[in-house]
């Protein structure tokens, strides 16, 4: 018997909502783990119940939005941005935005989605934010061609 992971994710969230906020000893939330293990229906179930889970800060203050930008998954990146538009401002412990992470990891499609989103919500100024090394997204892009 196969269990629908979307239903399982929403059931867990309904019964124990605080469980979704807990980090394991490695510094990952259930949302981070669902993304790492590619349990996308579970992840969608979590977001359907509580869209703020997109911004849970795990190890290194990396959020699920940062994680998706690193993996070049434009579909989930778009879903996360629509679920919680303001979380595009979240920064890691190294002062990196999702745009910094996409560029550093050579994730062109993720960067295009982020840039389009920032233009749509009139927040292009985020592209000028500096990471801990003083680099903007454009500095990083120029340094890696």
* Location of structure tokens 């989605």: 113
Under 8 Å between Cβ of 88 and 56: no
Residue 1 — pLDDT band, cuts 50, 70, 90?
Answer: very low
At 18 the pLDDT is: 81
Q: Using alpha carbons only, how large is the chain's radius of gyration in Å?
A: 15
Q: What is the pLDDT, as a whole number, of residue 129? A: 98
Question: For 108, which DSSP code?
Answer: H
The pLDDT tens digits for 33-75 are 988 998 888 888 888 888 888 889 999 999 999 999 998 788 8
Pick 5-143's CATH classification: 1.25.40.20, 3.30.70.1140, 3.40.50.300, 1.20.1260.10.
1.25.40.20
Say what the pLDDT of residue 27 is.
93
Query: pLDDT tens digits, residue range 98-124?
Result: 999 999 999 999 999 999 999 999 999
Q: What does the alpha-carbon distance between residue 123 and residue 77 come to, in Å, rounded to a whole number?
A: 17
């Amino acid at each position: 018997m196969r269990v629908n992971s979307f239903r399982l994710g929403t059931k867990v969230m309904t019964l124990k909502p605080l469980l979704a906020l807990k980090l394991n000893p490695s510094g990952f939330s259930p949302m981070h783990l669902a993304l790492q293990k590619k349990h996308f229906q579970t992840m969608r179930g979590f977001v359907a119940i509580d869209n703020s889970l997109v911004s849970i800060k795990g190890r290194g203050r990396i959020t699920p939005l940062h994680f998706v930008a690193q993996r070049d998954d434009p579909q989930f990146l778009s879903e996360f941005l629509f679920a919680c538009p303001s979380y595009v401002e979240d920064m890691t412990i190294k002062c990196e935005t999702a745009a910094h992470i996409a560029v550093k990891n050579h994730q062109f499609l993720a960067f295009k989605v982020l840039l389009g989103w920032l233009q749509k919500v009139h927040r292009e100024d985020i592209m000028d934010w500096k990471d801990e090394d003083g680099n903007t997204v454009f500095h990083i892009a120029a340094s890696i061609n």
